[in-house]
Amino acid sequence: MNRVPNVESFRNIPVIDSHVHMSHPISLDRSVEYLNKIIEGRNYRSIVLAPYSVDGDHFTDKQAAIKSLYLKHRIPGIYAQATLNYNHNSGDTSDFFLSQVKEHYKLGFDGEKLLEGKPDTYRRLGHGIDDPVYDGFYEFCEENRFPITLHVADPPSFWDPDKVSEYAKKVGWFYADPSFPTREELYRQVWNVMNRFPALPLILAHFGFLSDLPDMSEEFLTRWKNTALDLTPGGWIFSCFSDKHDYWRDFFVRHSSRIVFGTDSYNTPEDYNSTGGCTGLWALVRSCLEFSEPFLWNDSLGTLVPLGLDDETLHDIYNRNSRRIFGENPAAIDIERADFAAHITSDTLAGPHDKRD
């Protein structure tokens, strides 16, 4: 039985990490240092910053988007998504959300990151992701090919009292209470959005948590031409791939142009997680894609049967698809319009205090 090796064992293929957060409450200067370490240590070609302004009842950061753009300014060659802000009152109108995305586009962002489909966030906002209040936002993104990365649903165990983890309960991710949306309702709403905006460039984060639903995964990618699935862990999705290895290997090869690499990394020096060592979710994703022999990941996930993908498929997943979706090069920042001096000081934190810590 093999164990996960160091980065030197991975194939020499350029990688763009399409899902990197900057929510840890450390200074922007230190975030630049740590993100550069991640890029260098993992031999990345680039990263895509994915901020969010809402996270259930845990925290709200109204400046998340401008901080993301500032880090893009400080680290040449990376991409940055924006995120929507909310008034949590009658001011949350279609015109309000449309005005935000128009401004993000002009400022030089490379897309939008939405946490609005995560059940705790969904409940806090009080309306669905297919609510007409977002129609102007979706229409603009569709017309301008401005990609959206959407977190929708969560692992099915989070709805199951017999399977939910203690950690999920602790942080408010147990959804048996009927005030939370069901998993089925969330997917129904995604399908509603895509039926109304069929050319919308929509990426579902964490493989949409669809890895136990192969028929829906297939439909999502074949029915709409601009959709994609990212590979950001949790590990549960890779257990699903391992359990139906032959099916999913064929799926990845057939849909290689619609799957993007991502890790859910953060702006923090996670020792081996942030550089080239053998732990960390980034290594889990690469190991599951590249290796051919079963390997032991940890006691929780146990032994995984990797997909052993060919180099051409990996080039699509690792870099070509992100370049096609987010742009061959990051969008130019309108520095004067961004007016960083009005928002950023030497003491500004990349993320606010997270009450889960």
Domain boundaries, the chain: 2-342
Query: Half-sphere exposure of residue 244, counting CA atoms within 13 Å on the CB side?
Result: 12
pLDDT of residue 57: 55
pLDDT of residue 56: 54
φ/ψ of residue 94, rounded to 5: -60, -40
pLDDT of residue 351: 81
Which of 326, 345, 341 is CA-nearest to residue 108?
326
User: Which are the contacts of 305, defined by CB distance < 8 A and separation ≥ 6?
Assistant: 242, 245, 294
CATH 3.20.20.140 fits 2-342, yes or no: yes
Helix axes of 281-290 and 236-243: crossing angle, nearest 10 degrees: 10
State how far the Cα of 266 lies from the Cα of 272, in Å rounded to an integer: 13
Q: Residue 91: helix, strand or coil by DSSP?
A: coil
Q: Could you list the beta-strand ranges (E) of 184-249.
A: 202-204, 228-230
Q: Could you list the beta-strand ranges (E) of the chain.
A: 2-3, 16-20, 46-49, 54-55, 59-60, 79-80, 112-117, 148-152, 202-204, 228-230, 259-260, 295-298, 302-304
State how far the Cα of 136 lies from the Cα of 94, in Å rounded to an integer: 6
Structure tokens at 81: 């998504």
Residue 79, phi-psi category: left (phi > 0), alpha (psi -120 to 50), beta (remainder): beta
Question: Which residues of the chain, if any, have pLDDT below 50?
Answer: 1, 271-279, 354-357
Q: What is the DSSP letter of 235?
A: T
With residue 214 as reference, give the H or E element that holds it: helix 214-223
Q: Are 136 and 97 in contact (CB under 8 A)?
A: yes
pLDDT of residue 269: 64
pLDDT of residue 7: 63
State how far the Cα of 175 lies from the Cα of 214, in Å rounded to an integer: 23
pLDDT of residue 4: 55
Which of 234, 216, 209 is CA-nearest to residue 156?
209
